Amino acid sequence: MSGWLAVAGLGPGSDALVTPEVCTALGDATDVIGYAPYVARAGEMTRAVLHPSDNRVEFDRATAALRLAAEGRRVAVVSGGDPGVFAMAAAVFEALEAGPEAWRALDIRVLPGITAMLAAAAALGAPLGHDFCAINLSDNLKPWERIETRLRLAAQAGFAMAFYNPRSASRPYQFARALEILRGELPGTVPVCFARNVSRPDQTLTTVPLAEATGEMADMRTLVIVGTAETRAVGRFLYTPRRAT
């Protein structure tokens, strides 16, 4: 059997949110590559050789995966959530472009997964029920000024927003600055939702008005959803109506 590479999304955490397509790929794989916590999760669904690696080595990991597939191995590169949303798929194509021409003939597939923002939205109700955007607040790979401009334009456009990687030990201040920018554009009543460990037993959901949101409310494992001026509460749920004025 010839080699292949599947970039597989494991969803937000619960096994009940892993697609059958991903389960099949993990079952057929000879090798599983990824950030250590995701490889550990995948390890429960496969008998493949496990290749855990550190965070922030996406390009090297993708190159190693392509090399194995070129040698005839059946390789699953695992991501949390959806591999196409701030995860491993783009890194695999960057490594493909940088690698030998022959790699472009490899059997490469991206297997979608439930991304954190959609799992968090489902747990909250339907805060992304109207037009929305997804922004990675990490400035490791893009200038912070560009993120600021994007936040301003997104708020002016009336998008609901999901923020990935809002804050980390090495970037403690950016999320507070992002909130400041949003407060300059949106009513203070707009809900800001902090979702952690979505779909897991230790899931937590916290919602505060924009006026009361602070930088310390998020960390690297928090998914933040910001509603619009039209987002409403009903019972324990939040939703953004389909109808807009």
Closest CB to a copy of itself among residues 53, 136: 136
Q: What is the CA radius of gyration of the chain?
A: 19
**Shortest distance, position 139 Cβ to a copy of itself, whole Å:** 10
Task: Pick between residue 40 and residue 144 the one whose CB is nearest to a copy of itself.
Answer: 144
Give the pair of three-digit tokens for residue 79. Answer: 């991501």
Give how far Cα 135 sits from Cα of 28, 80, 150, 185, Å: 34, 17, 9, 17
CA dihedral 82, 127, 221, 150 (to 10 degrees): 80
Q: Of 211 and 244, which CB lies nearer to a copy of itself in the complex structure?
A: 244
**Based on CB atoms, which residue is closest to a copy of itself, 1 or 141?**
141
Q: Shortest Cβ distance from residue 56 to a copy of itself (Å)?
A: 11
From the CB of 86, what's the least distance to a copy of itself, in Å? 8
Identify any residues that bridge with 52 across adjacent strands, giving them in sequence order.
Answer: 34
Residue 200 CA to residue 52 CA, distance in Å, equals 22
> How would DSSP label each residue in 113-175?
---HHHHHHHHHEETTSSSEEEEE---SSS-HHHHHHHHHHHHHHT-EEEEES--BTTB-SHH
Nearer to a copy of itself, 40 or 93 (CB): 93
> Least distance from C-beta 181 to a copy of itself, angstroms?
13
**52, two tokens:** 């855990």
Q: Closest approach of Cβ 142 to a copy of itself, in Å?
A: 4
Among 169, 164, 173, 168, CA closest to 144: 173
Nearest approach, Cβ of residue 208 and a copy of itself (Å): 20
Nearer to a copy of itself, 18 or 182 (CB): 18
